[in-house]
Amino acid sequence: MISGRLGELSQRHGRTRALIKKLWFVNSEGKRVLVWALTPSGYALAGEQLGRQFKVPRHDVAHQFLEHATGVNDLYVALTKKAGPPRPAPRGKPADDFARVPSAFRWVATEDLELPFSEYVAKPPDHVADRRLQPDAMLEDLIRKRRYLIEFETGSATVRNAQHNTATLTKIGRYSNFLLGPTQVSVPQTYYSKHFNDGYKPVVVFLTRTEARRDTIVKVAEEYWGAVDARFELRALTMAEAGAEFRARLLGETPRPPSPDLNPPRVTKPATLEGTFISFREIDLLKRFQEESLQIIQRVRHTVRAGKPVTIEPRYPELMNPAAMVLQRLLR
């Protein structure tokens, strides 16, 4: 019945143009998967019904990227489906087991997400580049005030090679810059708090198809956070684990407690005396930041003393953001 109705909507009827169209991809198991996408007329009707304007994509998603583009939808379906096994509808009456969108959370699709930030690029010439994050989805827990930034991992990209833009390690680094990096060195505001000023706690979630991919991401994340203190949660879950856990957290469907964080934030404990504790690692980081800053200042002073114009804008110290994060923690 459902496929028949979708087929009708994909055809033109008189002056009414088709509202959806067929796309497809071959999944990791070698099976052909059918995908339905809105046509421009479908976007127009959706905007009319929902009272908002949608950005119509110029091109369809290529076959090789469709699995990634649609994979995170499985989590949304898992959260909105009615609990229990499906029941056949009584004869002559409409079915009542359709999905109901809960009001306990807010789901934001990737098309409506664009999170800007800046990061230092060490490649010559040194400069600060404008970047943007575009999670595959965002889930907001309206009761507990937590914001889940979701990345779906199909397994096609590498995990460890930080030189690749699609590598998981590269994504972790960019989330670190967006969530913890200060917009200015002298102010505590981060790019995250500038974009979201509601006090929601950020949690980055990597969704995987397999447990092996999940375990690899956890290991790499733990190795990465060994260098700089992290104060946001980072999770890696299979799709099945995420569906069960989020239903428990958001909908209270099961009494089981949530699984422990796979890599808890490494926040140093305060000292017993008044004040705060700083680790030798953080002291070394601040020392290297000071030395690098003095070198930059000295180069500019030598140029001025020689009577030469300063024609090249001095670069920011490479350790500017990590040093600012340490200082921000010490001032709390």
User: Is position 25 within any domain?
Assistant: yes
Q: Are residues 119 and 245 in the same domain?
A: yes
What is the reported pLDDT for 277? Answer: 60
What is the reported pLDDT for 100? Answer: 65
CB atoms within 10 A of CB 85: 6
Mean pLDDT of the 151-156 span: 82
**pLDDT digit string, tens, across residues 177-212:** 888 878 876 667 889 999 998 989 999 999 998 898
CATH number, residue 235: 3.40.91
Q: How far apart are CA 29 and CA 155, in angstroms?
A: 13
User: Is position 274 within any domain?
Assistant: no
Q: Are residues 286 and 243 in the same domain?
A: no
Distances (CA, A) of 32 to 2, 39, 154: 19, 21, 16
Q: How far apart are CA 10 and CA 38, in angstroms?
A: 9
Q: Are residues 255 and 114 in the same domain?
A: yes
Q: Are residues 58 and 77 in the same domain?
A: no
Q: Are residues 116 and 214 in the same domain?
A: yes
User: Is position 275 within any domain?
Assistant: no
What is the reported pLDDT for 99? Answer: 64
Number of domains making up the chain:
3
Q: Which domain holds residue 104?
A: 72-82+98-267
Q: From its phi and psi, is residue 113 left (phi > 0), alpha (psi between -120 and 50) or beta?
A: beta
What is the reported pLDDT for 26? Answer: 86
- The long-range contacts involving 154-158, CB below 8 angstroms and separated by at least 24 positions, are 154/28, 154/67, 154/68, 154/71, 154/209, 155/28, 155/208, 155/209, 155/210, 155/213, 156/68
Contact 67, 23 (CB under 8 A): no
User: Is position 137 within any domain?
Assistant: yes
Q: Are residues 259 and 172 in the same domain?
A: yes
CB atoms within 10 A of CB 270: 11
User: Is position 188 within any domain?
Assistant: yes
Q: Are residues 210 and 128 in the same domain?
A: yes
**pLDDT digit string, tens, across residues 251-306:** 877 644 545 444 443 333 333 334 556 766 778 888 888 999 999 999 888 888 88
Q: Are residues 200 and 103 in the same domain?
A: yes
The tokens describing 271, both together, are 């000292």
3 state SS for 142-190 = CCCCEEEEEEEECCCCCCCCCCCCCCHHHHHHHHHHHHHCECCCCCCCE
| Backbone CA torsion sign across 233, 236, 241, 246 | positive
**pLDDT digit string, tens, across residues 204-259:** 999 998 898 898 888 887 776 544 445 668 889 999 899 888 888 888 776 445 45
Q: Are residues 155 and 248 in the same domain?
A: yes
Q: How confident is the model at residue 5 (pLDDT cuts 50, 70, 90)?
A: confident
Q: Domain boundary residue among 267, 293, 312?
A: 267
Considering only CA atoms, which of 203, 180, 204 is closest in space to residue 190? 180
